[in-house]
Structure 1
Amino acid sequence: MSFERPWLAQYPERVPAEIDVDEFPSVVAVLESAIENYRDRPAFANLGKTLTYAEIDQLSAQFAAYLLGELKLKKGDRVAIMMPNCLQYPIATFGVLRAGLTVVNTNPMYTARELKHQLVDSGASVIFVLDNFAHTVQEVIADTQVKQVITTGLGDMLGFPKGAIVNFVLKYVKKMVPEYDLPGAIRFRDALALGQRHTLPTVDIEPNDIAFLQYTGGTTGVAKGAMLTHRNMVANMQQAAAWVGTNVRMGEEVIITALPLYHIFALTANGLVFMKFGGLNHMITNPRDMKAFVKELKSTRFTAITGVNTLFNGLLNTPGFDEVDFSGLHLTLGGGMAVQRSVAERWKQVTGSTLVEAYGLTESAPAACINPMDLADYNGAIGLPIPSTDACVKDEAGNALPQGEVGELCLRGPQIMKGYWKRPEDTAAAIDADGWLHTGDMARMDEKGFFYIVDRKKDMILVSGFNVYPNEVEDVIAMMPGVLEVAAVGVPDEKSGEAVKVVIVKKDPALTAEQVKAHARENLTGYKHPRYVEFRTELPKTNVGKILRRELRDAPAAR
């Protein structure tokens, strides 16, 4: 059947309707092309140390040779990497991929329970972990299939004497490295030295081989591994690069990578797309330390930055951010959660750069919709489906809905995952017989083909039979100058089934619940008014700064 794509008429100049998925057979081929074209250009920088593409080539080849030559891993074996943003991450990740193995990205903040689930479920035989988090590995390793642990200190790639100082300060001054005991573990530098004794064989990597097992859905219960193939990752890199690349300078871009590379957004948008451009990923290890983050931005002339709404909001509220040099900044991409109008407008005012909202999922590697890069101002949409991507809105019965109607957003394209690891039922529930991925997000499409997320299906609040979308309530409350952060959730209510509750972090200590309610009355229809207002010093968030509404819903009802 023919499929209408009204969005193509809105595509910016020079953005193609389709991308060439076959230009690179694998993520490794992308890396090899970047090494060939940009050999002596800087590739990754962190804590004052920079590695060139040639150095990434050499070190990742050594790590791959260690995994194959010393550990005798076989094609398709899984290697878990439990690292924040540091130079070891790209070396290890590209090493694992060059060896024909699968990367299992592991959140360093995982509890022992979460880590054990992921290691057991993925069947990882090796884990590479930063010293700071090795005590968690120690707790669970006996219950997993892991045969080899590789450890490293944050300073290990920074050279002497800086690396030794960083490691000493973290362990003995800041006490950020809990004691651990992992008999048989090897240090990363020793693994690289062992790798030098072996020649890296030619590994045949197929487009459909799994590059990453990317765990997702922890918010809906047990985390599932999305199988992202080399083809999925290359396709999404090609799609995003075609979209954002119309005004990049090859070999000269510097992107601020504050979201962790183990998260799919930064992995593709920063790690892969900017590698294709021959750019430099300037990695921020701890973006939560906003003062230090702003100081680093002041000493770096950057051209691009990605982030989530809470990150941009945090920067805007950190003293000194308005003194950063934004003259080179031409790309600000927001995703991972809804971008709030108040944040987008302030970002434009302070930096001169439009905060362009994008939308994606782990299951779509991740980008599916992005706003045009030449957008003058925030428009509230998640954008247009990117090249080679179809999108539609379906009702409960799976029928496509007309323009303007709200239903579940469904996606189709070469970036959609192979399925969930060892979970055929979950895969069948997520991807229908026609290849549509059901996102669980409620959306509508306008006449031009722009999509608007109304909310997560499961976050929707039902007040007396009316749908209330938390995003809308949050947007309105966030307009108040006294509000730093806000989350809206539904709480049980005898009369109306559910009632709206807002949880607020104050910017102005004098802000009252009555002021919040009065502001809501002016801007929202009756059933959307928050009945309950709670103030907290902080909101619960995921590792990338998404607000966890679920935790607020499950908390004992504070009135």
Structure 2
Amino acid sequence: MNERPWLAAYPQGVPADIDASQYQSLVQLMEEAFTKYATRTAYTFMGKDTTFAQTDAQSRQMAAYLQSLGLARGARVALMMPNIPQYPIAMAAVLRAGYVVVNVNPLYTPRELEHQLKDSGAQAIVILENFATTLQACLGATAVKHIVLCAMGDRLGLLKGALVNYVVRNVKKLVPHFELPGAVRFNDALDKGASLTLDKPELKPDDIALLQYTGGTTGVSKGAVLLHSNVIANVLQSEAWNEPVMKQVPAGEQPTSVCALPLYHIFAFTVNMMLSMRTGGKTILIPNPRDLPATLKELSKHTFHSFPAVNTLFNALANHPDFDTVNWKNLKVSVGGGMAVQAAVAQLWLDKTGCPVCEGYGLSETSPSASCNPVTAKEFSGTIGVPIPSTWMRILDDAGNDITASGEPGEIAIKGPQVMAGYWQRPDETAKVMTADGYFRTGDIGTMDARGYFKIVDRKKDMVLVSGFNVYPNEIEDVVARMPGVLECAVVGVPDEKTGEAVKLVIVRRDPSLTEEAVRQYCHDNLTGYKRPRHIEFRTEELPKSPVGKILRRELRKKK
């Protein structure tokens, strides 16, 4: 199927296709930026600017240090940090050294971290000290031999850095006691690397750039293998898509994006960090967007043009009393992704900023962007837009055949240069989601209208989407089922005004004395925040089951 009815919806100047072959690797893209935009600010964090030239020098030093550890070409290096300057430095270093980035959510519990480190075979990790206790708890079960420890104030200069670290450690008490013998401090690693020479590997488009962990379609966390060419393509696709409004940024004004989404999430990785590299843009690093007063205070100091976010953040900001302390009038594009954007939120955002929320769609497996609404649209469409350049999307029935009738639901499938190479060391799982002609089956049920606009109507699987993060019932059920006193349990998603969906856990007790408080504590110890049940219900009778004994989650959804 080569027809692309959606091309008619493209704004003037947006090409049907992009040329991803202009770069051999993400390193080539970054090194071009380091030279071309050397004197510009690449990142700003807590009042401290880092230039492209500084990012170049520091990532080169860190890359040389990592090579000195004796890691083989293609070794996996985990990055476990929030949005702090050490992240982009370490990311660039890992790729420049010829290694593979493994993005890790810093809020993971030891159980979750252990799985990801073991599955990826990571041999080194760059981690913020705030989360070092988590690593300490599972380190022995992993292949990690080298630890680089960051502190919040590392790159803020001597005085300010020392002050920030003192407050984080001693006033806010955000760094629990840990013991990681042999760990090297980030700044010490940079100093060591400064006297070493980087051995530049020859990277090719089909070399692996990162492992982006996702639940895929079953719930066991799997690494989506993203090649250098995948991410390059998505950067160029995103650039082409945003061009009609970004070209309105006044000459001499540096394009600037707000990075409130976590950089370990593929949305921010590509659409914030890598796209800003390509365009010579400045990135405002927001380490904790949940701290709304601090986020708005930071934004009040800047002129910015691009703001990728999830529905919950748009909503929380727009309803905050400090919203008007920020100058929003330079905002050219607000990209909504990760979860469905609600019409009421989109309207409120448009009313308050004058910039419509442009909803897009993508997955870790697609680097991530696959479709988006035209950035020139002035009203909210309620759709996920049209496929972006060089991207084909179709609607498939259960047999894998095309559904050609307009508005008829089926599974959304995606083909394009941004689609992953497969799941890390899981050919069976890869085979389940890839069609013979190279389409990725998303597990999302959608429709396409005659104009080529796509809409999500449901999900094929039982995944719950909490503030843009995938939560797999299987994983939570597996964890809770191990708790003494639980006979059986099931998890479903229920609507939630704030997060889109929330996790509901239904338990049949083996031990009648089991309390909700005990279950919440157990979940707190074993699951990261967004996976923890918001609602817990105890039942006395067994859970509804199919004739073969499978728990019927849809029956649980019907009952409150």
Output the TM-score relative to the length of structure 2. Answer: 0.83
Q: Mapping of 1:391-540 within 5 angstroms?
A: 391-402=393-404, 403-459=406-462, 502-503=495-496
CA positional deviation for 1:147:
0.8
**CA RMSD, aligned part only?**
2.6
CA positional deviation for 1:446:
0.7
| Equivalence for 1:274 | 276
In 2, Cα distance between the equivalents of 1:358 and 1:499? 25
Cα separation, partners in 2 of 1:167 and 1:277, compared to 1, 3 Å? same
Deviation readout 1:200-251 (Å, 9 max, x if unpaired): 1221001111100010017942210000000000011111111112332487
SS at match of 1:161: helix
Deviation readout 1:500-530 (Å, 9 max, x if unpaired): 9655569xxxxxxxxxxxxxxxxxxxxxxxx
In 1, Cα distance between the equivalents of 2:159 and 2:210? 35
CA positional deviation for 1:322:
2.6
| Equivalence for 1:217 | 215
Deviation readout 1:348-395 (Å, 9 max, x if unpaired): 000110110010000000000011010011010101101110000001
| Equivalence for 2:26 | 27
In 1, Cα distance between the equivalents of 2:210 and 2:242? 24
| Equivalence for 1:177 | 175
In 2, Cα distance between the equivalents of 1:55 and 1:268? 21
| Equivalence for 2:94 | 96
In 2, Cα distance between the equivalents of 1:178 and 1:219? 35
**Amino acid paired to 2:220:** V
In 2, Cα distance between the equivalents of 1:139 and 1:218? 26
SS at match of 1:214: strand
In 2, Cα distance between the equivalents of 1:502 and 1:345? 20
**Amino acid paired to 1:345:** Q
1:330 to 316, 332, 337: 332
In 2, Cα distance between the equivalents of 1:280 and 1:357? 23
CA positional deviation for 1:155:
0.3
**Amino acid paired to 2:82:** P
In 2, Cα distance between the equivalents of 1:286 and 1:55? 24
Cα separation, partners in 2 of 1:460 and 1:51, compared to 1, 3 Å? closer
1:85–1:283 contact (8 Å) kept in structure 2: yes
Cα separation, partners in 2 of 1:332 and 1:502, compared to 1, 3 Å? closer
In 2, Cα distance between the equivalents of 1:336 and 1:230? 22
1:322–1:351 contact (8 Å) kept in structure 2: no
2:217–2:443 contact (8 Å) kept in structure 1: no
Q: Matched residues, percent identical? A: 48
2:186 to 178, 185, 188: 188
**Amino acid paired to 1:48:** G
Does residue 1:13 correspond to 2:16, yes or no? no
| Equivalence for 2:113 | 115
CA positional deviation for 1:271:
0.7
Cα separation, partners in 2 of 1:265 and 1:432, compared to 1, 3 Å? same
CA positional deviation for 1:404:
1.1
| Equivalence for 2:128 | 130
2:107–2:529 contact (8 Å) kept in structure 1: no
SS at match of 1:142: helix
Does residue 1:148 correspond to 2:151, yes or no? no
| Equivalence for 1:345 | 347
Question: Which has the larger displacement, 194-203 or 177-186?
Answer: 194-203
Deviation readout 1:132-164 (Å, 9 max, x if unpaired): 000111111111111111101000110021110
Output the TM-score relative to the length of structure 1. Answer: 0.83
**Amino acid paired to 2:222:** K
Q: Mapping of 1:226-305 within 5 angstroms?
A: 226-248=224-246, 249=249, 252-305=254-307
In 2, Cα distance between the equivalents of 1:555 and 1:307? 32
Question: Which has the larger displacement, 86-95 or 427-436?
Answer: 427-436
In 2, Cα distance between the equivalents of 1:441 and 1:378? 21
SS at match of 2:445: strand
| Equivalence for 1:515 | none
**Amino acid paired to 2:419:** I
In 2, Cα distance between the equivalents of 1:283 and 1:433? 41
Count of matched residue positions in the alignment of Structure 1 and Structure 2: 489
| Equivalence for 2:479 | none
Does residue 1:387 correspond to 2:389, yes or no? yes
2:462–2:492 contact (8 Å) kept in structure 1: no
Cα separation, partners in 2 of 1:104 and 1:502, compared to 1, 3 Å? closer
1:336–1:546 contact (8 Å) kept in structure 2: no
Cα separation, partners in 2 of 1:554 and 1:223, compared to 1, 3 Å? farther
Does residue 1:315 correspond to 2:317, yes or no? yes
| Equivalence for 1:42 | 41
1:308–1:546 contact (8 Å) kept in structure 2: no
In 2, Cα distance between the equivalents of 1:420 and 1:499? 26
Deviation readout 1:519-545 (Å, 9 max, x if unpaired): xxxxxxxxxxxxxxxxxxxxx99xxx9
Unaligned ranges ≥5, structure 1: 462-469, 475-486, 490-497, 507-539
Cα separation, partners in 2 of 1:363 and 1:555, compared to 1, 3 Å? farther
CA positional deviation for 1:318:
1.2
